[in-house]
Structure formats: structure tokens, C-alpha cells
Amino acid sequence: MSASYPNIRMRRTRASRWSRDLHRETVMTPSDLIWPLFVTEGQGVEDPVKTLPGVSRWSIDGIVARAKEAVELGIPVVALFPNTPADKRSDDGAEAHDPDNLMCRAIRAIKQACGNDLGVLTDVALDPYTSHGQDGLVDDSDYVLNDETVAVLVDQATNQAEAGADIIAPSDMMDGRVHAIRMALEMGGHRNVQIMSYAAKYASAFYGPFRDAVGSGGLLKGDKKSYQMDPANGDEALREVELDIAEGADSVMVKPGLAYLDIIYRVKQRFGVPVFAYQVSGEYAMIEAAQSVGAGDRDALLMEKLIAFKRAGCSGVLTYHAPVAARLLNG
């Protein structure tokens, strides 16, 4: 028995709900959430994603309705991902820098409807636009070209900023793209457009349902291991983060989230910058699967995972469960 017992009883502060609330070290609110949304063509379209139960692709009018819902729930940011029609995909992903593409039309519609009440985060990568499903341009051997891809990403990012995007989020993992995008935004007069860099994005097995949602899953030739990170590496993630901060990232992201809590913690401890986690499609699907077979309570599983992200050091979390979590947090 400890010499401090019974002077110190660790259970005293756990005995009542009010006391547990008072002593809670980690607090989660709706303002810690970012809601990823999938945009598709059409009018009045809700197209459920089979591998993501409860998640749909929405036409722009539906996306605007979701954006208004986010404002009502206290969710500060939505993240947009387009499902580009097959006839607008190409080897060079040229649709990415069309000022009237699906993404840009969705940005403008949200900003018109919600103004500054809601932030819009936009994905910068070519996989929603390429016919081969890779995040960048490829050579004859299907190797993803770095510098040539960065030039296209700069055009894509500038295009989105012109449409009204508040946060540019490059998810491509090309070397040097944060610096190139930051310089283009500065020169284009978009000095207050933020960059949230996918700084430590791993070549993960948890992305499958997302690729279905944006229509790139069946197109992908090979894998993305030549540019996304090896799941075995942690020190390399710190180097990636350090470089992106130096290049002008305002915040950084670790993706996926739950399997990389150690990376989140190390990044926060080392750099002290805003760190975000992406609770990716595979993580979402596992929670829904557990609920569907009675293996766990969705709400309890969700909130425990979100608290884990915050406890590890996250400023916020991208999650498809954002409206569910917000309703739970709002009581």
C-alpha cells in the first residue's frame, strides 16, 4: 500500500459527474471539427457511397445545404472533394485548373450562401482529375513526376483561391509544393489564404472508401508508395513537417489519424504548430461496421477516438462523423 494512501485517493475526483467534468483535461467542442464533403454533378442529387454508410456525394445544391447545417451545428470548416465525371478526367488532370470546374462552383456557392460564417478547405492533388488515379503527372513508366506535378498543383491551388477557398490543403506529397503554392498565393494577392499541408500522409490501407467516393479507386494503376510515406517511418514524418513549416504551411496534417497518434504527439511536441488529424474513410467505416453488427456503440466509439486525437495534441479533426459528433457535443 502506498504511503500516501488514504491521503490521496485518485477516485475522489471521479465519484461524481460534475467532478469528472471539472477535472477533465481534454475538451472537445464542435469548433474542433472539419466536415469532409463529396461533391458531384447534377441538381438535387444525393448519391450514397456504398463503402461509407451514411455518407453521400451531393450535387452543389445539397452541398450548400450541408454547409448551412455545419454553421447551425457550430462546425467551422467544411472540406471539399470532387467526384469528377469520367469524361472530364485526363492523363494531365487539366480539369483541376478550369475556373468553372465542379470544385470551384461548389466553393463559390458555399461562400455566397454562408459568407464568412464558414471556412472552406479545398484539396489540392490530381487524383480526382486524372484518368490513371495518381495524385500527379506520370511518365511512360507510370512514375509520378515531382516538379512537373508541382507546376500543375500551383495552378490548381490558385484556381481554388480565386474561387474563394479559405484553406488550401495539398494532399499530393510532392516535394516543394508548399513553397511553390505559398509564393503563388502571395503573388496573386491571396495573402490570407491558409495552407494546411498534408505533411505526414502515409501510404495507408485505410483509404479505400475515399477512393470510391471520388471515383479514383477503380482507375488507380499501381500504388502511391513512391510519394506517400512508409507506415513504418516516424522520424521521416518529422522531417516532412519541418520542411512544410519552413515552406509556408500555417498548419499541418497527419493522415490517417488513429494508427498514427504517436506521430501527432511527436509533431506537436517538436514544433508546437497547429496539428490536424484526418479520421479517414477506413476508420469511419470500421466504426459504422462495429455498430451494424452490435460490436460497439457508434457514439461512444466515435467520441473516444476524437478525444484521443485531441489528447495527442490535435487542434482539430477532419471526420465524416462531424455532424454526429457536433450534435452529441451540443447536447
Is 111 part of the annotated catalytic residue set?
A: no
Give the type of residue at 279: Q
Catalytic site residue from 111, 201, 224, 310: 201
Are the C-beta atoms of 178 and 245 separated by less than 8 Å?
A: no
**Pairwise CA distance, residues 23 & 329, whole Å:** 17
Are the C-beta atoms of 274 and 32 separated by less than 8 Å?
A: no
**Pairwise CA distance, residues 282 & 291, whole Å:** 14
Give the type of residue at 57: R
Are the C-beta atoms of 144 and 111 separated by less than 8 Å?
A: no
SS3 readout for 233-294: CCHHHHHHHHHHHHHCCCEEEEECCHHHHHHHHHHHHHHCCCEEEEECHHHHHHHHHHHHCC
Catalytic site residue from 255, 268, 305, 310: 255
The secondary element (H helix, E strand) that includes residue 195 is strand 194-201
DSSP-assigned letter for residue 202:
B
Cis? peptide before 256, omega within 30° of 0: yes
Are the C-beta atoms of 266 and 234 separated by less than 8 Å?
A: yes
Per-residue burial over 207-228, b = 16 or more CB atoms within 10 Å of its CB, e = otherwise: bbbbbbbbbbbeeeeeebeebb
- Name the nearest CA neighbour of 102 among 159, 49, 148: 159
* CA 157-75-210 angle, 5° bins: 55
**Pairwise CA distance, residues 291 & 90, whole Å:** 39
Is 305 part of the annotated catalytic residue set?
A: no
Are the C-beta atoms of 132 and 219 separated by less than 8 Å?
A: yes
DSSP-assigned letter for residue 90:
B
Which of the residues are catalytic?
A: 201, 255
